[in-house]
Amino acid sequence: MTPSYSPSFNQDFCEELEYTLCYVFDHCNDPELKRFWCDGVSWAPYYNAQVNADYLSIEKVKERGFIETTAHLGISGQDRYEMKVVLGKLALSLYENNESLTSSIPSKEDDWIEINTDDGSVEIKLL
C-alpha cells in the first residue's frame, strides 16, 4: 500500500535545490540576482507534523500541482521568501512514486525561476 504522504519533498531535495539556486544566481545575467544566494529551503512548510503530512499528501499535491514553503534568499541569503514549487510531469510522477525529486530540478539556466523582490516571493518550476 502506498502511503498518503510522500517522503519525496525532503531535506535532501531541499538542500539540492538550495545548491542549484546558488549556482544559478552566481551564473545568471541579471545583475541584481547575481548577488543573491540561498541559505535554505524549508522541507517542512508548517511547524506541525500532522499539518505537514496532510498538506504534503500525494492526493493534495497532485490536485494542487505545487507545494508552498519558505526559502531564505537575497543578497544576505537571509531574507524570507514565500516559495511556490510547481511540480511538472516528471516531478509529479516521482512524488507519486515516493522517489527523489532531485532529478526534476531543471538545468543550471534561470528560466525556471521567477523572483519578485518587491513582495518576497519566488516560484520555481520543476520538470
Other CB atoms within 10 A of residue 95 CB: 23
pLDDT tens figures, 86-106: 999 999 999 999 999 999 999
Query: Residues 102-127: pLDDT tens digits?
Result: 999 998 788 999 999 999 999 999 99
**Backbone angles phi and psi of 121, in degrees to 5:** -125, 155
Cβ 23 vs Cβ 112: under 8 Å: no
The residue to which cell 516521482 is assigned:
94
Query: pTM value?
Result: 0.91
Residue 72 has pLDDT above 70, yes or no: yes
For 72-87, what is the mean pLDDT?
A: 95
* Per-residue pLDDT reduced to its tens digit, 19-46: 999 999 999 988 888 899 999 999 887 7
CA-wise closest residue to 66 among 103, 91, 38: 91
pLDDT > 90: percent of the chain: 73
Q: Domain map of the chain by residue range?
A: 11-125
| pLDDT tops 50 at residue 1 | no
